[in-house]
Structure 1
Amino acid sequence: MNMEQQVEHSHLQIRGLSLHVAQAGKGELGTVVFLHGFPEIWYSWRHQMLAVAAAGYRAVAPDWRGYGLSDQPPEPEAASYDDLVEDLLAILDALSIPKAFLVAKDFGAMPAYEFALHHPSRTCGVMCLGIPFLNGGSSFTSLPEGFYILRWREPGRAEADFWRYDVKRVVRTISCSSLGSEIPIAKEDQEIMDLADLSTPLPEWFTEDDLAVYASLYEKSGFRYPMEMPYRSLHKRKPIEDPKFQVPVFVVMGEKDYVFKFPGVESVLKDGIMEKFAPDLKITYIPEGSHFVQEQFPDKVNDLLVSFLKGHPVSA
């Protein structure tokens, strides 16, 4: 069976919005919920969904509110990470899932960590790719003005930049500029879209067909909400007082992921800081892995993921 035959799509009415959810597998051994980042959607997890389904789990991959095939919130500027945590809880309730493993990437890691801290009885374990637990976030004040997150925080700036091109080129530029180990930073007289090198071919693991799927979903959703969540909502996040994970936490980082250069990230991972918050912590590095490690090296990530799941069997 190909992916189209194995993945089922539905919409759930969640807190006043219709959210799109992709699912695969029967779930004899438990449920795994996949939480995407930007510029991604449920499709980013296609390889992992089929792997966990084949291993006996139920895979559930929603499009966050404002992303992909999910509804746009009526007030994008009111975006908050609390909404994502509440949406996740409501999705579990709507699907009658008592507890689940959370697998998250990029900004999806933040609500995953927060959900696990606030709802340990609903969480079997957390595996996050590319983002360790940074309580309260990372300060970007030491980075140049042209740093993409600082640019995209400015209301209207990204929208004006993106508007110059078709959606496919925007998605391609954002994805390709995130593949290297250097942080995407524009010069003073540049916008982020000007960083594109269209002569660079797509990597073999990210085909024109894959790009077309991403582009079609962003054509539907647009970029208005994705700029609010995550970038213009980061400052609203507040540190959790004395956070302590009661569930196993697994962080997987590509060694060539540019996020390593974000202030505080390497220290949290390599100086034992995260272990203070997560007593049951495992950290694994994938050589040559980029910020899209789950698509770049799906077999490696799938092996790590299934091993993590099997190592923490869900009690009845």
Structure 2
Amino acid sequence: MDQIQHNFINVQGLNLHVAETGTGPNTVVFLHGFPEIWYSWRHQMVAVAKAGFRAIAPEYRGYGLSDPPPQPEKASYKDVIADLLAIFDALGLAKVFLIAKDFGTRSAYLFALLHPDRVLGIITLGMPLIPTGPSRFKSLPKGCYISRWQEPGRAEADFGRLDAKTVVRKIYILFSRSDVPIAAENQEIMDLVNASTPLPPWFTEEDLATYGALYEKSGFQTALKVPYRSVDENFNIAEPIVKIPALCIIGDKDFALKFPGREEYIRSGKVKDFVPDLETIHLPEGTHFVQEQFPEQVNQLFLAFLNKHV
């Protein structure tokens, strides 16, 4: 971790945190999901830097050490895309590889669709390109975590009973399971995890402390708006087809595979209608956090793809 440097780039009056290591001629940009921050890419950043790449992991506005927007309730994916473009311009990055996880995958694909001349290739974890349109989560039960977190005030009250470290702990445990987190009508999402439940074996108390400290600083207000309350944001892209090389790594025990139609969409090859040059690799024991669960295996897959397309 000592070789990772931390800088801030001013974008539209906000100081956005960027973690960076490596000095290679080709740059890899890592986009985190929720409840993640730059640190979720700690294993991968060091690995690609050692292999001769420059590794950059920004934190979105309102996440971690990045400043929150003045009106978090108005945060959007459009902000994320604009901030990324500004960061790339500030760092003089003409073209990059994008590696993304969770809702960061949507940000990566949107960026590639809107700025195709700036992206060499895309790697996503767990999620391929899913076209925008009417909410993909309408058919989920009302007690599903997404439905609950979309409801203004409910997650704030649920999370507000606990410190940030405990919130992250519970979400990491929930998201490491193979079933979609769904609460009963009279139950909150945080109540799905007992205080005595251990962390996943690959996630240490030190890791949790790092996450907890960063979310203690940022809070969860912006994170609840992007992604959960922005899922229906429409970019009106006429032809949502990404024509650059892409790799999707799927953990077969990732609960997200159980979202309606998700696994069929991937396994049937329908996803290639939108990403023709896509390779999909399945990790049979992989969960939602494959890059932290199996870092060496994921690093090898990343480097094989990057070296093939430089």
Given the two structures, how large is their TM-score scaled by the length of structure 2?
0.97
Instruction: Say which of 61, 66, 71 aligns to 2:67.
Output: 71
Distance 2:117 2:48 in 1: 22
Q: Deviations over 1:3-55 (max 9, x none)?
A: 1x210000000122100000000113x00000000000000000000000000
Aligned length: 309
Q: Deviations over 1:36-89 (max 9, x none)?
A: 000000000000000000000000001111000000000111111111111111
Distance 1:239 1:231 in 2: 19
Deviates more, 1:49-58 or 1:233-242: 233-242
Deviates more, 1:300-309 or 1:198-207: 198-207
Deviates more, 1:134-143 or 1:206-215: 134-143
Partner residue in 1 for 2:224: 227
Partner residue in 2 for 1:290: 287
Partner residue in 1 for 2:118: 122
Distance 2:180 2:274 in 1: 27
Instruction: Say which of 171, 181, 189 aligns to 1:184.
Output: 181
Distance 1:311 1:167 in 2: 41
> What secondary structure sits across from 2:148 in the alignment?
helix
> What secondary structure sits across from 2:6 in the alignment?
strand
> What secondary structure sits across from 2:19 in the alignment?
strand
Distance 1:47 1:15 in 2: 31
Instruction: Say which of 262, 265, 271 aligns to 1:265.
Output: 262
Structure 1: which 4+ aligned runs deviate by more than 3 Å?
none
Tell me, yes or no, if structure 1 residue 302 matches structure 2 residue 286: no
Partner residue in 2 for 1:135: 131
Question: 2:129 touches 2:275 (CA, 8 Å); kept in 1?
Answer: no
Partner residue in 2 for 1:150: 147
Tell me, yes or no, if structure 1 residue 312 matches structure 2 residue 309: yes
Deviates more, 1:94-103 or 1:265-274: 265-274
Tell me, yes or no, if structure 1 residue 81 matches structure 2 residue 115: no
Question: 2:27 touches 2:97 (CA, 8 Å); kept in 1?
Answer: yes
> What secondary structure sits across from 1:12 in the alignment?
strand
Question: 1:132 touches 1:265 (CA, 8 Å); kept in 2?
Answer: no
CA, structure 1 residues 93+238, in 2 after alignment: closer, same or farther (shift >3 Å)? closer
> What secondary structure sits across from 1:40 in the alignment?
coil
Q: Deviations over 1:90-144 (max 9, x none)?
A: 1110100110000000001111001111111110100010111110165222221
Unaligned runs of 5+ in 2: none
Deviates more, 1:208-217 or 1:116-125: 116-125
Tell me, yes or no, if structure 1 residue 11 matches structure 2 residue 13: no
Question: 1:72 touches 1:225 (CA, 8 Å); kept in 2?
Answer: yes
Question: 1:218 corresponds to which letter in structure 2?
Answer: Y
Question: 2:247 touches 2:279 (CA, 8 Å); kept in 1?
Answer: yes
Q: Percent identity?
A: 57
Distance 1:308 1:12 in 2: 29
Distance 1:240 1:23 in 2: 32
Instruction: Say which of 19, 27, 31 aligns to 2:27.
Output: 31
Distance 1:166 1:285 in 2: 35
Partner residue in 2 for 1:237: 234
- Taking only aligned residues, the RMSD between alpha carbons, in angstroms, comes to 1.1
Deviation at 1:239, TM superposition (A): 5.6
